[in-house]
Amino acid sequence: MEPCVVLMRHATAQKHGTSDFSRELAPEGHGEAVQQGKLLHALDLGLIQVVASPLVRTEQTGMHVAECLGISCITDPRLAPSQGMAAMLQALRSHVLIVAHQPDVGDLLGYLLTGDVRAVAEFAPGTVAVVGFKGAVRPGGGFLRYLLPPTGAVVQGC
């Protein structure tokens, strides 16, 4: 199985909380995360772990997806908002699902696909991107295998 990295923006979160760190998923966000977990399970990508930002909404998203996949979910402070590209790259491994925040997850996708740190992608809440690699996981070496918006549609790359 060729190397792949799966990037996901946390599912839809509540608009307000006691702090940004503690904002939870909105009711529809729980459903989005489970739906995406089921889609990823059906794609059978050989994922081995979910790694989420330590913020509550990403942890909740990651736990729902991990449960659907039958794998573990851990948190990694390098995926917290505004930690920077270098920190996110250190957390990256093949066959791992990263659950993080916009704009960071969009910046990482653009960098993996083009090798250019100025390339960015917009991620709606709950969106998943599956990035394949012909060799090692490295910036500029990726290609988009699937884009999974939270609507249930599967868009396959070429």
Per-residue pLDDT tens digits for 81-112: 989 999 999 999 999 999 999 999 999 999 99
Residue with tokens 């402070």: 77
Q: Which of 12-21, 54-63, 121-130 has the lowest mean pLDDT?
A: 12-21
> Mapping DSSP to helix (H, G, I), strand (E, B) and coil, where does residue 41 land?
helix
Instruction: Determine the pLDDT at residue 151.
Output: 79
**20 band by pLDDT with thresholds 50, 70 and 90:** confident
Q: Are 99 and 8 in contact (CB under 8 A)?
A: yes
- CATH no. of 4-156: 3.40.50.1240
DSSP at 134 = S
Is the pLDDT at 72 greater than 60? The verdict is yes
Tokens representing residue 148 in the block? 């999974």
Gap between the Cα atoms of 27 and 30, Å rounded:
6
**153 band by pLDDT with thresholds 50, 70 and 90:** low
Gap between the Cα atoms of 56 and 82, Å rounded:
16
Instruction: Determine the pLDDT at residue 120.
Output: 87
- Strand ranges in the chain using DSSP code E only, listed in sequence order: 4-9, 49-52, 72-75, 96-100, 128-133, 142-148, 155-156
Q: What is the pTM of this model?
A: 0.94
Map out the domains of the chain as residue ranges: 4-156
Q: Which residues contact 66 (CB under 8 A, 6 or more apart)?
A: 37, 49, 50, 72, 73, 97
Is the pLDDT at 145 greater than 80? The verdict is yes
Instruction: Determine the pLDDT at residue 16.
Output: 85
Total residues belonging to the chain: 158
Mean local confidence (pLDDT), 46-75: 97
Averaged pLDDT of the chain: 93
**158 band by pLDDT with thresholds 50, 70 and 90:** very low
